[in-house]
Chain A
Amino acid sequence: MPDTKTSKLSTTEITHIAKLARLDLSANETTNYSLQLSKALDYFEQISQVETLGIVPLVTPTEIENILRKDEVYKELSSEEILKNAPHKTGHLFTVPPVV
């Protein structure tokens, strides 16, 4: 667990996290989140007091097994139905900015 004193997130760090999260933040949000996230992280750090050596993390809280099914083709939604919600489309394609 990072040192409590250094866990305080500066606005520069907030800007970096926002970039990772693909979120535009206003100057106001950046300042607020810097304070609020630092406070929340300090609060989270109490879990470091629990001894967990060798404990396998729990993700799914009830026991589940691998579920297999036959590899069968069945009719799902048509491309028209899928494209209905697209904010912008060209013919049968989603329109996006240049990616290459």
Chain B
Amino acid sequence: MDLIKASLAEISQAVRTKKISALEVTKFFLERSKKLNPTLNAFICFDETAELQATAIDQKIYQGENPGPLAGVPWGIKDMFCTKGLKTTAASKILENFIPPYDATVVSQLKKNGAVILGKLNQDEFAMGSSNENSYFGAVKNPWNLNCVPGGSSGGSAAALATRMVPASTGTDTGGSIRQPANFCGVVGIKPTYGRISRYGIIAYASSLDQAGPLTNSVTDAALALELMCGKDMKDATCSSQPVPEWSKNLNSSMKSVRVGVLKEYMQDGGLHADVQKTVEKSLSELKALGAEIIEVSVPLTKYAVPMYYLIAASEASSNLSRYDGVRYGHRSNFQSLANLELGEFYSKTRGEGFGEEVKRRIMLGTYCLSSGYYEAYYNKAGQVRRLLRDQFIAAFNQCDVILSPVTAAPAFQLQERISDPLQMYLNDIFTVSTNLAGLPGMSVPFGFSEKKLPIGIQLMAAHFQEQKMLNVGLALESISGMKGLVANV
């Protein structure tokens, strides 16, 4: 069996019918990952128990049990997800040696369905970044061009997948952190509706925006992975009790009478790279040829999405990251003696050393925006505009089934190109942050290459809890893109 080309369902089926053992599958991907990792830096660490996990799956099968729809499928886990007994760092010095005593709900769901955890994937520190250059463990490289960024913050998840170090990986998306690296690396990435996936055990960045999701090699894999990750969880009060449909079984690429919305605001501003412009136009004309109706829609407040997003994200981050105090877990400064130490100094020194530059910048911004006298004008105001933005999106989805847009204005940029100007870096997220603010599902599907041979994806968004519509259009795009199954050679 060609493990590089196989779908998640095919790998699992082969393992369950004993055509190949889970151990053989795990060994194959582990060996491949360890060979490629020095070039890409996609993994922060490997799970030493991976082969044991695989053997346990094989034993279950030999005892006549069904280990589940992911039987023996190795997964890479973004280092934002707590993994019991396995180091979880959020790519930060402050959590460099943190070993969680429990699994995130997503991780236990994957394990329950037969997945093997291969290791932890690199990312921007605390998921704050769009280039993966903010990792304490060094930048990840884009496998299509080693001088380019893989995107962020789930850069390791996307790079590992594009080179088939793993057949699937997890990501988190606060403002585009799944869709943007998926776009830069030529893989499928999904952020479902806010609340679809439990946030329990995922290191918190901005709680009202954070949502997990899968990165995969195909839309069909994504649909399956997503439905296994979603579902109500008593450990996360914001987790939705909406039933989780069997998206993978209901995939339908027929575009007859499907209404595809195009956001006026996203297309008229200019600033799109010519190759991205061409790719988006091609996707629209192809969908039209398949029977879809293309409709122009308008969400005027998307104009304010980036400032609103960074204000809210930084504010919530400053609050969430106050837990890193050097007391219960994580980095603590090396103090000679605690006896005469002032508590404030203890915290400040520990946190000043433990957090990286971008994380500190966002904590500072957020602290300011939440501080007395400024809360009303900043966080509160942003929340009000956020409600109006969400309502405009709801109205737009009365006119169309999905909204199609670029994921980013240009293909992957060079390493070091934007790191010195934070505001410029924030503008990378112009097309992705709105779905997080409005809580909508969004995905990135590879659809072409730039002249310089860098992947370009298409973003699809749908109304709350309408993931199926988005997946269906994604499948249609995938079937005409010629991108499915492409592997980046490094």
Contact = CB atoms under 8 A, between A and B. Distances in A.
Given A50-B304, A98-B339, A56 B384 contact: yes
A52 B385 contact: yes
A43 B363 CA distance: 17
B423 interface: yes
A46 B301 CA distance: 11
A27 interface: no
A55 B365 contact: no
B422 A36 contact: yes
- Interface footprint category on A: 35 or more
Contacts of A87: 326-327, 329-332
Determine the main DSSP class of A at the interface with B.
loop
13 contacts: A21-B351, A22-B351, A33-B361, A33-B364, A39-B423, A40-B423, A48-B381, A57-B380, A61-B194, A87-B331, A94-B328, A96-B338, A98-B338
A17 B369 CA distance: 10
Interface string A1-31: 1100000010000100111111111000100
Given A40-B423, A57-B382, 13 more contacts: A17-B371, A21-B363, A23-B352, A23-B363, A43-B423, A47-B381, A47-B382, A48-B377, A52-B381, A61-B386, A61-B437, A84-B99, A86-B327
Interface string B328-346: 1111100000110111101
A37 B365 contact: yes
B346 A97 contact: yes
Q: Please name the 3 residue pairs, one residue from A and one from B, whose CB atoms are nearest each other, closest first.
A: A61-B439, A57-B383, A24-B352
Contact of B238 (A44, A45, A48, A60): A60
Determine the main DSSP class of B at the interface with A.
helix
A81 B359 CA distance: 28
A26 B353 CA distance: 10
A64 B307 CA distance: 26
Contacts of A49: 304
Contact of B360 (A29, A39, A41): A29
B368 interface: yes
Contacts of A73: none
Nearest to B355: A23
A96 to B, nearest CB: 6
B422 A40 contact: yes
Nearest to A53: B384
Contacts of B322: 22
Contacts of B111: none
A37 B365 CA distance: 6
A50 B301 contact: yes
Contacts of B328: 82, 85-86, 94
Contact of B329 (A44, A58, A86): A86
B368 to A, nearest CB: 5
Interface string A67-99: 101000000010001101111100000111111
Given A47-B308, A99-B343, A62 B237 contact: no
Contact of B385 (A29, A33, A47, A82): A47
